[in-house]
Structure 1
Amino acid sequence: MDRLSGLDASFLYLETPAQLMHVCAVMVLDPATMTAPYSFEGLQREIDLRVRDVPAFTRKVRGVPLGLDHPVWVQDKAFDIERHVHRLALPTPGGYPELMDLCAHLASLPLDRSRPLWEMWVIEGYDDGRVVVFAKMHHATVDGVSGANLVSHLCSVEPDAAPMVSEHPAPPRDPGRGELLGRAVIGTAARPVTLVKVLKPSAQLVTKSIGRARRGTAMAAPFSAPRTSFNGTITSHRSIAMADLDLDEIRRIKKVTGTTVNDVVLAVAGGALRAYLDERDELPESSLLATVPVSVRDSSRRSTGANKVSALFTKLGTDVADPLERLHMLAERNQHAKEHHNAISADALQDWAEFAAPRTFGLAVRAYANLRLAERHPVVHNLVISNVPGPPIPLYFMGARIDALCPLGPVFHGAGLNITVMSNAGQMHVGAIACRESMPDTDALVRHFPDELARLSEAVAAGSPADAR
């Protein structure tokens, strides 16, 4: 029996008709590299062959009687690839705007919980005869790193090579109702003991955090973000946009300035957000605050669970006009945030998530949305920004070269914008997804990313502050 961790299960409880908790990816493929001519039937058949022995693709969620414990994964004995891999064609003229509109529509649809929690939509008729795969997988199944690992099950480094990953864990077994109930009762009885173990280090953390705040070395605090047009109650409608950045240029800036790739990415994002808000006369005086997911996979003590993540808060310097000054400020803030984050147990978020009660958690989320509480209390954070490391070499999906691989995370009530960047074969692909009602034209934000990278590059080359916007 494979029980969901508290953190994995929390993504199920957080989901509402408007707050959809799946992660997406847009893969733009060049079918010219395929060893056999492209056909949807052939692609679907090959995907079926490769996912059959990967439990993450063939398991589904089963609830525990009376909701006494987190759900478990069980094997879907009626697994059918036709329920997961679908075919669509873009409307004429089949360009970027049509692709983004279609992907936004697909991202707005919930996954069917009676089946394994993933889907792929093969989209034909894109620019220059390319094929696009729009993939969705529930966050209960993957985080950024495990999602990239799952993609590797379907990819290879040569058009006709085997997948990069060939070893898979055994599929989960289907327990009886009595076993589920018995384990749930035992787990419930043990929770007070577990709570005591979690409380002590958490109390120590609060004390240390207060000390860091007094010394000015703490990470940015939640509930200190200014309110923007994308910080409110969200709907299920989405808008999506993508852009590409030159990874070599980002690395050059990193080397010259003594910062990190993540510092440069966040500085560019801060500049793009500043430009977007300034165009709309919405630029707040104080800096936007971002939540940055951090993988703790290498330091976690837990051997189970798909999500092994923590998070830190950082201010993006949207109140600073000069890109080089913003980068240096972010680098210093990020160093403090990392040191603060490293003082927190890698499993702290996962430990506390174990106490998320299935029924009350879900009811609380729905009440929060229905009462529009995100618009009444101080803004927790403005958006989520994720940086997912990708492969440094070209990859091939079922033999088709991947020209672009752009991940998209979920958006939340109170933070209706998510920006995810992923490196791939010398490019940094930027994906933005937002609630359509609060950000109808996500491309109006994303198109500033290349411009802001160019401004930062010019400022670095000049070695002096660039002209303020």
Structure 2
Amino acid sequence: MQQLSATDASFVYMETPNTPMHIGSLAIYDPSTAPNGLVRYKDILAHIEARLHTARSFRQRLVQVPGNLDHPYWIEDPDFDLEFHVRHIALPAPGDWRQLCILAARIHARALDMSKPLWEFTIIEGLDNIPGLPKGSFALLSKVHHAAIDGMSGVDMTSGIHSLEPGSPPPAVEKPWKPDARPGVGELLFRSYINSIGQPLRLAQVVAQSVPGLAKLGASVTKGEVSLAGMKAAPRTRISGKVGAHRVFEGRAFSLRDVKVMRTLLDGATVNDVMLTVVGGAFHKYLDSKGELPADPMQAMAPISVRAEGEKGAMGNLVSAMIVSLGTDIADPVERLKAVHASAKNSKAMTNAVGAKTLSEYSKFMPSALAGLGARLYTRLGLANQVDQPFNCVVTNVPGPRVPLYMAGARLVVQMGTGPIFDGMGMILPVYSYGDTIAISFTSDRNMIPDPQFFADCLQASFDELLAAAQNPDASLAAAAKPAPAKAAARKPAAKKAAPKKAAATAPKTASAKPGITGPRKPTFKPGKDIN
């Protein structure tokens, strides 16, 4: 029996009917590499069953402490049933990308059963009308509660059900699995009492550890190495209010080689800087087309893993975070990259001064009952509509393997992430790299982003503009030298609930790719109703 950390437990407390707190991915497979070029549902079941021992999350369920007097515990579920967790469905004809995104959004919107191990896999067939995919391809939509994994431990879980060769045997079982007996009320209350005794001492230790970091931060500010000027609330946009029960999902896949070309635009720029710049450009195009572009730059929260080498297989969340400007107020992609890089560099310096690990330790002292009550009141009172937030969205970078992966003999073609949203933060954009591709996908509220395909087109156009600037830097410098139009200089922040314009601005037409996969096309940037 293992107790959840305060960070892990916070995702349990934050869960409401409209805000399920699970993360996951949409992975697409080519079965031509499997024996006889065919993968059946029972083959996938057998494949996963033989690998359940590779990740603890597969067979562990929650046990709540009475009265929420302490954080919950994980136990090995004595009633584990694999077929409850691995489902099977097919798209109706024609089976195209839009249908797959709609189905993924609907499945993702449903909360997990908290009385069972907190994960689900849905096998989706019938993808034969998605350009760029081999015939017979199928998808695996995963859902795993955020209390059980973070992005990096999710990679460990993913690697557990994959192999480097189509016919590789499962890893050897070190010891037989044994279910736990459900703990009694008395045992849980006694554990809660023991934990409460040691809390003051543990808090004193963390405070002592943070003092040198705070002193270092103060010295860095005094020397001008770190700036506090950018520390302010994020501007309110259409993704800043209360979220509803329905979701949208979309994404685009790009060449990782192209991203590395973009890095050459600025010394010291990282892949993460480039992808944040692409996201900022997409928001600029999307909101500008609706007359809702804020004067101040939008801000993203970027999680930072503090998982040590010896904690690779540990369950739960070992993360801190930094806040980065997305440069949405800058039209030029190269200037936006410079702003994003400077913001990320400053935020990293602040986090490193105090210590990302130390910052994450403070969450352990959050009272469990108070945390749950606060999360529920935040939603019921609609505080997201009244309180300014430090960030507008989450952009999380999940690095994957550069070599091909296989499941039940089928080769993984592309993988895109899904994630939770909550009141005040209505979009999450996971960035997944795998092989020679890197994909940006997004999960959002259906009322906030009613036209997800248009936002995905904006992601593509933003990527294409930055790539064009990297491939032809002289043209980019010439464009940057031109004076900004008077209209842009006089822009005012949009009203909180500005309605989309009927005659929307048209974003630049650039070379693009088919939704999610590959193939040339020219996008039509016409925002409008596109509700799933």
TM-score > 0.5 by shorter chain: yes
Contact kept, 8 Å, 1:5 with 1:304, in 2: the verdict is no
Tell me the SS of whatever aligns to 1:140. Answer: coil
Tell me the SS of whatever aligns to 1:454. Answer: helix
Deviation at 1:403, TM superposition (A): 1.1
What is aligned with 1:424?
A: 434
Tell me the SS of whatever aligns to 1:447. Answer: helix
CA distance in 2, matches of 1:276, 1:466: 25
What is aligned with 1:367?
A: 377
Equivalent of 2:204 in 196, 199, 219: 196
Deviation at 1:393, TM superposition (A): 1.4
Equivalent of 1:233 in 235, 242, 249: 242
Deviation at 1:15, TM superposition (A): 1.0
Question: 1:181-227 deviations in whole A, cap 9, x for unaligned?
Answer: 22211111221222223334556656655665563724775652111
CA distance in 1, matches of 2:93, 2:312: 50
Contact kept, 8 Å, 2:50 with 2:170, in 1: the verdict is no
Equivalent of 2:261 in 225, 247, 252: 252
Deviation at 1:356, TM superposition (A): 2.5
Equivalent position amino acid for 1:238 in 2 = R
What is aligned with 2:57?
A: 56
Equivalent of 1:453 in 443, 449, 463: 463
CA distance in 1, matches of 2:327, 2:305: 24
Tell me the SS of whatever aligns to 2:428. Answer: strand
Equivalent position amino acid for 1:25 in 2 = S
Tell me the SS of whatever aligns to 2:195. Answer: helix
CA distance in 2, matches of 1:129, 1:176: 46
Question: 1:383-427 deviations in whole A, cap 9, x for unaligned?
Answer: 000111011111112211111111112112101000011111100
What is aligned with 2:525?
A: none
Deviation at 1:284, TM superposition (A): 0.8
Q: How does 1:274-289 map to 2 (within 5 A)?
A: 274-289=284-299
1:384 aligns with 2:399: no
CA distance in 2, matches of 1:95, 1:125: 9
What is aligned with 1:347?
A: 357
Tell me the SS of whatever aligns to 2:389. Answer: coil
Contact kept, 8 Å, 2:265 with 2:334, in 1: the verdict is no
Cα 1:129–1:451 change in 2 (3 A) is same
What is aligned with 1:129?
A: 136
Contiguous gaps of at least 5 residues in structure 2: 129-134, 481-507, 509-532
What is aligned with 1:158?
A: 165
CA distance in 1, matches of 2:353, 2:76: 39
Q: TM-score, normalised by structure 2?
A: 0.82
What is aligned with 2:111?
A: 110
1:273 aligns with 2:274: no
Contact kept, 8 Å, 2:273 with 2:344, in 1: the verdict is yes
CA distance in 1, matches of 2:213, 2:109: 38
Cα 1:199–1:53 change in 2 (3 A) is closer
Cα 1:415–1:408 change in 2 (3 A) is same
Tell me the SS of whatever aligns to 2:365. Answer: coil
Tell me the SS of whatever aligns to 2:238. Answer: coil
Equivalent position amino acid for 2:240 in 1 = N
CA distance in 1, matches of 2:229, 2:170: 42
Deviation at 1:315, TM superposition (A): 0.4
Tell me the SS of whatever aligns to 2:384. Answer: helix
Tell me the SS of whatever aligns to 1:233. Answer: coil
Equivalent position amino acid for 1:318 in 2 = T
Equivalent position amino acid for 1:378 in 2 = D
Contact kept, 8 Å, 1:125 with 1:131, in 2: the verdict is yes
What is aligned with 2:190?
A: 182
Deviation at 1:324, TM superposition (A): 1.1
Contact kept, 8 Å, 1:221 with 1:313, in 2: the verdict is no
Tell me the SS of whatever aligns to 1:433. Answer: strand
CA distance in 1, matches of 2:444, 2:35: 38
CA distance in 2, matches of 1:211, 1:302: 34
Question: 1:325-346 deviations in whole A, cap 9, x for unaligned?
Answer: 1112222222222121112233
CA distance in 1, matches of 2:479, 2:149: 43
Contact kept, 8 Å, 2:124 with 2:141, in 1: the verdict is yes
Equivalent position amino acid for 1:142 in 2 = I
Cα 1:310–1:174 change in 2 (3 A) is farther
Moved more, 60-69 or 279-288: 60-69
What is aligned with 2:148?
A: 141
Moved more, 288-297 or 372-381: 372-381
* Root-mean-square deviation over aligned CA pairs: 2.5
Deviation at 1:302, TM superposition (A): 11
What is aligned with 1:44?
A: 45
Contact kept, 8 Å, 1:300 with 1:347, in 2: the verdict is no
Deviation at 1:305, TM superposition (A): 4.8
Deviation at 1:123, TM superposition (A): 0.8
CA distance in 2, matches of 1:165, 1:24: 26
Contact kept, 8 Å, 2:55 with 2:313, in 1: the verdict is no
Give the fraction of aligned pairs with identical amino acids, expressed as a percent: 35
Equivalent position amino acid for 2:151 in 1 = G
What is aligned with 2:493?
A: none
CA distance in 1, matches of 2:311, 2:122: 36
User: Which runs of at least 4 in structure 1 moved beyond 6 Å after TM superposition?
Assistant: 164-172, 299-303
CA distance in 1, matches of 2:181, 2:295: 55
Contact kept, 8 Å, 1:53 with 1:168, in 2: the verdict is no
1:323 aligns with 2:327: no
Deviation at 1:350, TM superposition (A): 3.5
Equivalent position amino acid for 2:16 in 1 = T
CA distance in 1, matches of 2:216, 2:453: 42
Tell me the SS of whatever aligns to 2:454. Answer: helix
CA distance in 2, matches of 1:371, 1:392: 46
Tell me the SS of whatever aligns to 1:155. Answer: coil
Deviation at 1:53, TM superposition (A): 5.9
Moved more, 165-174 or 86-95: 165-174
Tell me the SS of whatever aligns to 1:347. Answer: helix
CA distance in 2, matches of 1:458, 1:166: 51
CA distance in 1, matches of 2:171, 2:333: 39
Deviation at 1:170, TM superposition (A): 7.1
